[in-house]
Amino acid sequence: MNIKQLEKASATYYTGSPIMTDAEFDAAIAELRQNDPDHPFLKRIGAPTPGTVKAKHQIPMGSLANANNEKELKTWILRCELAIPHSTSALCLSHKLDGSSLELIYENGSFVQAITRGDGEEGEDVTKNVLLSRNVPLSVNPSITSVRCECLIHKKDWAEHFGGDANPRNSAAGTLRRHDGKNAQYLRFYAFDMMVNGDVPNSETTRMLVLAKWFNVPNNLFVSSNEKAYLPEHTQLGYTINWCKEQETKRDNFPYEIDGVVVKIDNREISEQLGITDNRPKGQIAVKFEPRGGETILNNVVWQVGHTGEITPVGKVNPVGVGGVTVRSANLYNTDEIERLGIRIGDTVEVVRAGDVIPKVTKLVCSSTDGVEIKPPKKCPECGSKTEKDGVRLYCQNRWCGGRSFARVMTWIKKRNILHIGEGLVESAAIDETRQLYVLSYADWARVKVGNGVWGKKRASSVVAALEKSKNVTLADFLGSIGIPGIGRTLTRQLCDSLDDRPNSQLTLSDMFQLLPSLIMKQAGFGESRANDFCNWLKEYREEISDLALFMNFEEEVKMESDNRQFDGEVICFTGKSPRPRVEMSQLAESAGASVSSSVSSKTTILVIADVESQSKKAVKAREMGVRLMSPEDFLDFCGI
């Protein structure tokens, strides 16, 4: 029996209309295994039950940075052009599908495995349900080894067959992982990237055309221009924005859900030269659509304590559908925002999902005659300590507040991307300090009481594995994950890079405890406030940080070109007002590789000015000399501030 007959027999078996008996199929498989034991078909028919086996990706599956408005899209283009001139002269635009990312593996042109995105490094093997769907090609060009796609359910199928589910995305994710394969026939797969052996298409548009021979692909468009992409009047930028707006107005007409547009530099080689930050390629960005809102009643306001001690109000609302998700809580940010909105408990309000993710209250729709004023707490809701207001923010001043400690634990879990551990499990395990995550044994996790039962051995095994993985960390990532106010991993990497200039020794946590704000300001271009926050936090929580560090396996930082070298070789002149003191702006420029001049000259390459449309003498002179004009906000964005 040839392989084509086996392919057909396998496909008809999964659709419920087999063309041969189980015995005949087993005999044919045994014959193939004897004659060609390494044939990829044998791997496919032996696929495990979805959700039971983990599998590693051939290449890490990262995500994309977002642009939530035109300004952020323009900033992305500016950043690309500053790094590599004319890099955005050709762009590939495509729908950002609202589904679950998946990798399809092919060997010698034959489909062998499907893996969910998971944590980006490994995911779940869902090969059987992908086969049941009948919506992926079992054979492709032998040069294709891996295809990245989005798994989704068409809106029509969802409405007819998935009553009660919140949205098509959730239905697709759940169906993909079902053990019984129910409703797998409604899964659809849209390809958007691939790996091949031999010559690789260097154009994103060409890749999409190649993929379209075998797969569904999302709507896409190629945009090209010979103009300088960083100029305000750049027609390509305008065309890109217009196409994004057009797709947003038409989104209800497409068979699938979309929540934005993916914009890629078409030249793959140039895109890869720009590099990656936090598993996000710099040569690509997701332009997000305006969030959709819903009207509901504000029933209550609860006050939550964060890891810095800030107390924020969260509105509890009647369940309302927003963008396919049922929302019950919405962010109110601070007391000034509550006053600005003019809302009271009992009022009808509008709720949107910012970036289609985080629900927030955006406006008052209708006032209630029985509305109750929202009053900020005078005492911390967690520890009872007196609260104090600093600007628009409300704080608990007790540094050992249980709410603050709990929030620091959750910050670490989020920053280190530790899977399988949520707030409920942390509360049930009575964890109030981050190091306790690593103190608990496998048996301890298995015995944690959850609901009417316990967490159990299987889930405890997943938790322990995730925690073990999180122990491998660089010093910079460790410092950027412990919750220092206003300081994340990008800034701690910049700091460590600027300090670690010793050829035969490695920077240690002990070194960081000895730092003074003045040295940080000098070496890394940190402002005074941020430098003080960094040093004070390490001093205040030194014991807690040191205890946590004992469980870590510190790795040496892989030396790469730092994000803060965005201005290598540039000569920058600052003029007019800016959000930061002039001396700090100059320090940031110098730490990013630039020289600073006090006036516009023939050597000046960038003028940072409050109003880029200004007609001042300095601005006019700069334009005449071909100098780029940049706002202070864009400058700070380039610096990662």
Q: What is the pLDDT of residue 233?
A: 42
Return the amino acid letter for 43.
Answer: K
- In this structure, are 573 and 549 located in the same domain? no
Q: pTM of whole model > 0.75?
A: no
Q: What is the pLDDT of residue 593?
A: 76
Q: What is the pLDDT of residue 545?
A: 96
Element (H, E) at 187: strand 187-196
**Which residues face 144 on adjacent strands?**
196
Is 3 contained in some domain?
Answer: no
Could you say which residues of the chain have pLDDT below 70? 1-4, 7-8, 10-27, 29-30, 33-34, 37-52, 164-166, 198-200, 223-235, 278, 323-324, 354-357, 500-505, 523-525, 557-565, 581, 583, 598, 640-641
Q: What is the pLDDT of residue 525?
A: 54
Separation in Å, CA 224 to CA 239, 266, 351: 10, 9, 38
Q: Give backbone dihedrals phi and psi of 331, rounded to 5 degrees, phi first.
A: -70, 140
Is 28 contained in some domain?
Answer: no
| Number of structural domains the chain divides into | 5
Extract the tokens encoding 614.
Answer: 């200004």
- In this structure, are 416 and 463 located in the same domain? yes
* DSSP state letters, 84-132: STTTTSEEEEEEEE-SEEEEEEEETTEEEEEEE-TTSSEEEB-HHHHHH
b/e map 489-525, b = 16+ CB within 10 Å: bbbbbbbbbbbbeeeeeebebeebeebebeebbebbb
Q: Could you give the CA distance from residue 40 to residue 223 in angstroms, rounded to a whole number?
A: 39
Name the nearest CA neighbour of 6 among 37, 42, 38, 34. 42
Q: What is the pLDDT of residue 122?
A: 83
Q: Could you give the CA distance from residue 165 to residue 154 in angstroms, rounded to a whole number?
A: 14
- In this structure, are 277 and 314 located in the same domain? no
Q: What is the pLDDT of residue 509?
A: 94
Q: What is the pLDDT of residue 40?
A: 66
**Which residues face 106 on adjacent strands?**
111
Q: What is the pLDDT of residue 399?
A: 86
Q: Could you give the CA distance from residue 256 to residue 258 in angstroms, rounded to a whole number?
A: 7
Q: Could you give the CA distance from residue 207 to residue 81 in angstroms, rounded to a whole number?
A: 23
Q: Could you give the CA distance from residue 303 to residue 309 in angstroms, rounded to a whole number?
A: 12
- In this structure, are 277 and 228 located in the same domain? yes
Return the amino acid letter for 61.
Answer: M
Q: What is the pLDDT of residue 180?
A: 84
Q: What does the chain come to in residues? A: 641
- In this structure, are 226 and 84 located in the same domain? yes
- In this structure, are 310 and 370 located in the same domain? yes
Please, is 161 exposed, middle or buried when counting C-beta atoms within 10 Å of its C-beta (0-12, 13-18, 19+)? middle
- In this structure, are 355 and 414 located in the same domain? no
Q: Which one of 470, 500, 519 terminates a domain? A: 470
Is the separation of the CB atoms in 627 and 570 below 8 Å?
Answer: no
CATH number of the domain bearing residue 340: 2.40.50.140
- In this structure, are 443 and 533 located in the same domain? no
Separation in Å, CA 43 to CA 32, 36, 48: 12, 12, 10
Element (H, E) at 607: strand 606-609
Q: Could you give the CA distance from residue 337 to residue 540 in angstroms, rounded to a whole number?
A: 31
Q: What is the pLDDT of residue 392?
A: 82
Q: What is the pLDDT of residue 137?
A: 92
- In this structure, are 536 and 617 located in the same domain? no
Q: Could you give the CA distance from residue 341 to residue 362 in angstroms, rounded to a whole number?
A: 7
Is 413 contained in some domain?
Answer: yes
Extract the tokens encoding 176.
Answer: 């993909």
Residues 6+ apart with CB under 8 A from 37: none
Q: Which one of 535, 555, 575 terminates a domain? A: 555
Is 27 contained in some domain?
Answer: no
Q: What is the pLDDT of residue 230?
A: 40
Is the separation of the CB atoms in 356 and 327 below 8 Å?
Answer: no
Q: Which one of 450, 470, 490 terminates a domain? A: 470
Name the nearest CA neighbour of 493 among 568, 545, 557, 553. 557
Q: What is the pLDDT of residue 577?
A: 78
- In this structure, are 149 and 276 located in the same domain? yes
Q: What is the pLDDT of residue 393?
A: 87
Please, is 449 exposed, middle or buried when counting C-beta atoms within 10 Å of its C-beta (0-12, 13-18, 19+)? exposed
Torsion of CA 497, 500, 505, 511, to 10 degrees: -110
Is 527 contained in some domain?
Answer: yes
CATH number of the domain bearing residue 591: 3.40.50.10190
Q: Give backbone dihedrals phi and psi of 496, rounded to 5 degrees, phi first.
A: -65, -40
- In this structure, are 541 and 580 located in the same domain? no
Per residue in 250-260, pLDDT tens? 998 999 999 89
Is 5 strand, coil or helix?
helix
Looking only at the bridges linking them, the beta strands covering 90-97 and 187-196 are unpaired
Q: Could you give the CA distance from residue 578 to residue 41 in angstroms, rounded to a whole number?
A: 63
- In this structure, are 72 and 138 located in the same domain? yes
Is the separation of the CB atoms in 617 and 625 below 8 Å?
Answer: no
Extract the tokens encoding 475.
Answer: 């010093």
Extract the tokens encoding 287.
Answer: 């332009």
DSSP code, position 345: B
CATH number of the domain bearing residue 201: 3.30.470.30
Range(s) of the domain holding residue 344:
293-382+389-395
Q: Could you give the CA distance from residue 523 to residue 545 in angstroms, rounded to a whole number?
A: 23
Separation in Å, CA 164 to CA 116, 259, 267, 322, 612: 24, 22, 44, 15, 51
CATH number of the domain bearing residue 538: 1.10.150
Separation in Å, CA 405 to CA 309, 322, 408: 9, 32, 5
Name the nearest CA neighbour of 361 among 400, 415, 314. 314
Is 39 contained in some domain?
Answer: no
Is 588 strand, coil or helix?
helix
The gap from C-alpha 495 to its chain's centroid, in whole angstroms, comes to 23
Per residue in 172-191, pLDDT tens? 988 998 888 889 999 999 99
Residues 6+ apart with CB under 8 A from 66: 72, 260, 285, 286, 287, 288, 355
Residue with tokens 């598993």: 279
Q: What is the pLDDT of residue 478?
A: 95
Separation in Å, CA 116 to CA 11, 122, 133, 139, 459: 21, 8, 15, 20, 19
Q: What is the pLDDT of residue 134?
A: 84
Is 42 contained in some domain?
Answer: no
Torsion of CA 179, 184, 187, 192, to 10 degrees: 50
Q: What is the pLDDT of residue 11?
A: 55
Is 364 contained in some domain?
Answer: yes
Residue with tokens 């920053």: 415
**Which residues face 378 on adjacent strands?**
none
b/e map 423-435, b = 16+ CB within 10 Å: eebbeebebbebb
